[in-house]
């Protein structure tokens, strides 16, 4: 459990804010953004920030970024310039700044002038009221000059985080934030690339970090953007999904599983209705539908069961309670995966029974055109049932392992208390 520090004007405990600016080939705008940050000191003191530290991390720039930043640093004791010998990436530059920061609160923003440092006092005010991570949201209603493609992308990433994390965040990739330094261990490790911000948001959601957003305006950047919509957008998406898989696998795999099971069930119902109407043969599209139902059904159940099993493995790794509920909270009183045993056995019995009955009917003279649907249905039920039983055994073992330490401590405490 991370110890939480509280800041109070009444107790004369006022924190320092360290602001980190990662810079790569930003010679035309770095001095201006640094001076804008420094001008916020009085407003920061007004909301309860004792002092300001400005850290510029020159990430191996090939232009005069370091020299321009150094000119400003020479005029202010609170400014430091840290340089990487070679370019290591946006996230790596930020992490260098985080490690060097001396303040209890850490903020960061880009060097290109798109984010308004004048809003840092507002973000800090929210942080001082008990919030661990405050995001400057470009999507929360303030004036924004964000290009349409990036706006659409941010909506997609925010929606993805809302689905995977079950918490409403409007700007998961915002590059202007303030957070308490003490949460860094909880939200680490963070990537070295531009995907640091969405990964930070995703980790914060799943670590139970208290988050809030402050609406900020967004301006056009100085110079050409280094963000590739397709390449970096794909990286953002992948990193968010992989991060969630490390916390709550059933959220991702379960959604994919349902996406397979639902159409499989609908196709199956359609085939049953067609059979009841006397249709015993299928055209090319009907064959494709049957093939799709079988593949989607088996794959969907496998993914859902795999996600539930992975949740137990994750709980073992983190030594934390098993996350339950595909939709943010348990749907049933007993977790569904704990019912896989009897569900699987029932499915196997039903599948074998259908197969045996179909065999008997075939031996009695029924044509295969009347039996193929029943045989397919029986095979599908049997395969799915076997999968459920296998996953139930895995989940039982993993569940006992996850509770072993707790139960052992309980038994030993009772033994020693009797002595």
Query: For residues 409 and 152, what is the distance between their CA atoms, to the nearest angstrom?
Result: 52
pLDDT over 80 (residue 104): yes
Q: Which residue has the higher pLDDT, 410 or 122?
A: 122
pLDDT, residue 52, reads 97
As a whole number, mean pLDDT of residues 120-131 equals 96
- Locate 40 and state its tokens: 């916020």
pLDDT over 60 (residue 327): no
pLDDT over 80 (residue 407): no
Topology at the third CATH level for domain 16-245 = Spore Coat Polysaccharide Biosynthesis Protein SpsA; Chain A (3.90.550)
Q: Highest-confidence range of 102-111, 214-223, 233-242, 323-332, by mean pLDDT?
A: 102-111
CB 154 within 8 A of CB 138: yes
pLDDT, residue 157, reads 63
pLDDT band at 366 (very low <50, low <70, confident <90, very high): confident
Segments making up each domain of the chain, as ranges: 16-245, 249-418
Q: Which residue has the higher pLDDT, 225 or 163?
A: 163
Query: For residues 378 and 39, what is the distance between their CA atoms, to the nearest angstrom?
Result: 73
Q: Tokens 């109070």 correspond to what residue?
A: 8
Query: For residues 27 and 32, what is the distance between their CA atoms, to the nearest angstrom?
Result: 10
pLDDT, residue 210, reads 94
pLDDT over 70 (residue 20): yes
pLDDT, residue 1, reads 39
pLDDT, residue 9, reads 47
pLDDT, residue 201, reads 93
Range scoring the smallest mean pLDDT among 119-123, 181-185, 312-316:
312-316
pLDDT tens, residue by residue, 217-239: 987 655 555 556 677 678 888 88
pLDDT band at 286 (very low <50, low <70, confident <90, very high): confident
CB 173 within 8 A of CB 199: no
| Residue 17 bridge partners (DSSP) | 52, 105
Chain centroid to CA 294: 31
pLDDT over 70 (residue 329): no
Range scoring the smallest mean pLDDT among 76-80, 298-302, 326-330, 336-340:
326-330
- What Cα–Cα distance (Å) separates residue 315 from each residue in 200, 285, 303, 328, 386? 21, 44, 18, 16, 25
- CB count within 10 Å of CB 87 equals 15
Task: Quote the Cα angle for 41-45-51, to 5°.
Answer: 65
Q: Where are the alpha helices (DSSP H) in 101-194?
A: 120-127, 148-165, 184-187
CB 308 within 8 A of CB 338: no
pLDDT, residue 303, reads 92
pLDDT, residue 70, reads 96
Task: Quote the Cα angle for 243-247-250, to 5°.
Answer: 105
Q: Which residue has the higher pLDDT, 407 or 165?
A: 407
Task: Please count the helices (runs of H) and the strands (runs of E) in the chain.
Answer: 13, 7
Supply the mean pLDDT for the chain: 85
pLDDT, residue 150, reads 59
CB 216 within 8 A of CB 138: yes
pLDDT, residue 178, reads 98
Radius of gyration of the chain (CA): 28
pLDDT, residue 312, reads 85
pLDDT band at 2 (very low <50, low <70, confident <90, very high): very low
pLDDT over 90 (residue 107): yes
pLDDT over 50 (residue 32): yes
Characterize the bridge pairing of strands 211-215 and 105-108. unpaired
Q: How many CA atoms lie within 13 A of 417 on its CB side?
A: 6
Share of the chain above pLDDT 90, in %: 49
pLDDT tens, residue by residue, 55-69: 999 999 999 999 999
- Please give the DSSP secondary-structure letter assigned to residue 28: T
pLDDT, residue 10, reads 46
pLDDT, residue 227, reads 59
As a whole number, mean pLDDT of residues 148-176 equals 72
pLDDT tens, residue by residue, 184-221: 999 999 999 999 999 999 999 888 899 999 999 987 65
CB 193 within 8 A of CB 89: yes
């Amino acid at each position: 459990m991370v110890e939480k520090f509280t800041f109070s004007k009444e107790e004369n405990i006022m924190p320092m804010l360290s602001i980190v600016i990662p810079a790569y080939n930003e010679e035309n705008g770095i001095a201006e953004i640094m001076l804008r940050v420094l001008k916020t000191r009085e407003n920061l003191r007004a909301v309860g920030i004792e002092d300001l530290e400005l850290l510029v991390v020159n990430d191996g720039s090939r232009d005069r970024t370091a020299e321009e930043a150094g000119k400003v640093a020479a005029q202010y004791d609170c400014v430091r310039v840290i340089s990487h010998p070679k370019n290591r990436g946006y996230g790596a530059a930020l992490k260098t700044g985080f490690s060097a920061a001396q303040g209890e609160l850490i903020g960061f923003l880009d060097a290109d002038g798109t984010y308004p440092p004048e809003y840092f006092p507002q973000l800090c005010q929210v942080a001082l009221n008990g919030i661990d991570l405050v995001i400057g949201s470009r999507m929360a209603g303030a004036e924004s000059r964000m290009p349409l493609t990036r706006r659409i992308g941010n909506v997609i990433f925010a929606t993805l985080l809302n689905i995977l994390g079950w918490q409403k965040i409007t700007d998961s990739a915002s590059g202007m934030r303030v957070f308490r330094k003490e949460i860094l261990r909880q939200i680490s490790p963070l990537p070295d690339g531009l995907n640091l911000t969405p990964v930070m948001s995703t980790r914060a959601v799943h670590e139970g970090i208290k988050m809030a957003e402050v609406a900020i305006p967004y301006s056009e950047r100085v110079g050409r953007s280094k963000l590739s919509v397709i390449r970096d957008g794909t990286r953002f998406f992948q990193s968010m999904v992989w991060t969630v898989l490390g916390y709550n696998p059933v959220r991702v795999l379960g959604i994919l599983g349902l996406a397979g099971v639902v159409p499989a069930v609908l196709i199956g119902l359609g085939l049953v209705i067609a059979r009841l109407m006397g249709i015993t043969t299928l055209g090319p599209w009907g064959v494709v539908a049957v093939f799709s139902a079988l593949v989607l059904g088996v794959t969907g159940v496998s993914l859902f069961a795999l996600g539930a099993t992975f949740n137990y493995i994750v709980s073992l790794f983190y030594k934390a309670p098993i996350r339950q509920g595909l939709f943010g909270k348990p749907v049933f009183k007993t977790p569904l995966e704990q019912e896989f045993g009897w569900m699987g056995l029932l499915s196997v019995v039903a599948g074998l029974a259908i197969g045996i009955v179909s065999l008997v009917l075939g031996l009695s003279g029924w044509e295969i055109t009347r039996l193929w649907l029943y045989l397919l249905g029986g095979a599908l039920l049997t395969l799915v049932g076997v999968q459920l039983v296998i996953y139930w055994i895995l989940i039982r073992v993993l569940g006992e392992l996850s509770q072993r330490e707790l139960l052992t401590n309980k038994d030993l405490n009772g033994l020693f208390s009797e002595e």
